[in-house]
Amino acid sequence: MKKYRLVCSVCGKPFERDTEPYVCESCGGLLEPEFDLAANASHYREVIRGGCVSGVWDYRDLLPVEGVEAPVTLSEGNTPLLTASNLGPIVGVEQLFLKNETLNPSGTYKDRFATVALSIEKARNTPAVALGSAGNAANAMAAYSAKAGMPCFVILPPGAVAERGWQVRGYGANLIRMEHTIDDCISMAKQGEALFGWKSLTTNMLTNPLPSDGYKTVGYEIGKQLNFQMPDWIVVPVGGGALMNKIYKGCKDMLELGLIDKIPRFVGAQASGCAPLVDAYQKGLKNPEIWPGVPQTVAFAIADVCVYDGITSMDVLTKSGGCAEEATDEEILEAMHLIASKEAVVAEPASACSVACARKLVAKGVIQPTDSVLCVLSGNGMRDLKLMEQGQKEVPFVKYRDVEAVKAAVNDYLNDSKD
């Protein structure tokens, strides 16, 4: 028997159907699994209190995974929550936390989706899975299908960075490059369901509400790791919106269970070169519009022209009293450097966008210096190291055993560190 039903994430209306699109006819909100928390509150409280042991599957009883007997897992989740005491003063707040999702098996929080998705598809004997993506979701699905022993087909646009494609092939997935945008690759993978019998695993609530639910474990972990004293703000990079929406859902569950006494204010962080959520926030729209033109940003992982789960994202901003903010590539790259040089986390540009936006909101006086802020570092920058070189001065090159030249280089560095 199912322990959950699908309800509208915005108005709460229950749904019996389990077919696409997973959208509420009344208000346009995205549908999501809802467990009857009140019916078994003490058990669910124990599940959340007992988390942060082996990872996402600690929360199995709160995940829509009936029928799964053998999870496909790589010990994803249970990622560190860091107190960023060096970076905090630069951002401008007394308390800055970083949720380090870069340490997931394939390098991003999308593994929390992939573990649920591949576990469900494996149990259903699905012949193959497929994905159109900017690269990170593709790697999550490629990694978990490798573990599951299932064929995986990945369609990447030309703009997806080479390193993401190499990683996909490392996991043994079948890579196809297709012209145009991420969204075109996503719809091709969807069209392939009828042609090839594979399952398209786009990482949004709109098409895959069950695996998207895996993301709410980020919220549960933050709760447990902070002894259920939630920060004032949670800043999340937003592409399609699922990550932010689901961390909010995790908080909502904890509030309903009486584990926490407030829901943080959520900030949707985007890059200026593709910021449909920010645009909707500024114009007061209920549903973000498609971003006109071609996205221009180093934060390719969040450069979705369509905020797929956008009605729910706007609702999360409204209900939590949050906002949306954008950062330029320059600000994002500076944040990427700062996160590495002050807190020793190598985060990819999309993740660094959260810190860049938090910093701007402090400067604007929206976030107060006395507020506590948590930024989600969603993905690993070890695959984007060439970006670390941008804006850096040239590495000194000296002749063999040229002590004078080495002295000059050392002094040069010492002088730099003085300013």
Cβ closest to ligand PLP, residue 185 vs residue 257: 185
Place of tokens 């969204």: 183
Cβ closest to ligand PLP, residue 259 vs residue 302: 302
Q: How many CB atoms lie within 10 A of CB 64?
A: 23
Token pair of 283, please?
A: 């114009």
Contact between 238 and ligand PLP by CB under 6 A: the answer reads yes
Strand stretches in 206-349, DSSP E: 233-237, 265-271, 323-327
Cβ closest to Zn ion, residue 138 vs residue 280: 280
Rounded Cα gap, residues 264 and 237, in angstroms: 16
Rounded Cα gap, residues 215 and 145, in angstroms: 19
Helix (H/G/I), strand (E/B), else coil: 283? helix
Rounded Cα gap, residues 27 and 297, in angstroms: 32
For residue 60, what are the contacts with CB-CB under 8 A and spacing of at least 6? 71
Which region, judged by CB under 6 A, interacts with ligand PLP, from 124-132, 283-291, 324-332, 348-356?
348-356
Contact between 241 and ligand PLP by CB under 6 A: the answer reads yes
Contact between 350 and ligand PLP by CB under 6 A: the answer reads yes
Q: Which of 3, 15, 27, 80 binds Zn ion (CB under 5 A)?
A: 27
Q: Which of 51, 240, 276, 381 binds ligand PLP (CB under 6 A)?
A: 240
Task: Choose from Zn ion, ligand PLP, none: what does 26 bind? Cβ within 5-8 Å by kind.
Answer: Zn ion
Contact between 26 and Zn ion by CB under 5 A: the answer reads yes
Task: Choose from ligand PLP, Zn ion, none: what does 24 bind? Cβ within 5-8 Å by kind.
Answer: Zn ion
286-315: contacts with ligand PLP (CB under 6 A): 301-302
Angle between helices 136-148 and 162-170 (to 10 degrees): 0
Token pair of 290, please?
A: 């498609």
Measured from the CB of residue 24, what is the shortest distance to Zn ion in angstroms? Answer: 3
Site string for ligand PLP, 378-407 (x = CB under 6 A): xx----------------------------
98-117: contacts with ligand PLP (CB under 6 A): 108, 110
Rounded Cα gap, residues 2 and 91, in angstroms: 45
Token pair of 124, please?
A: 């259903």
Residues found near ligand PLP in the complex (CB under 6 A) = 108, 110, 136, 237-243, 301-302, 348, 350-351, 378-379
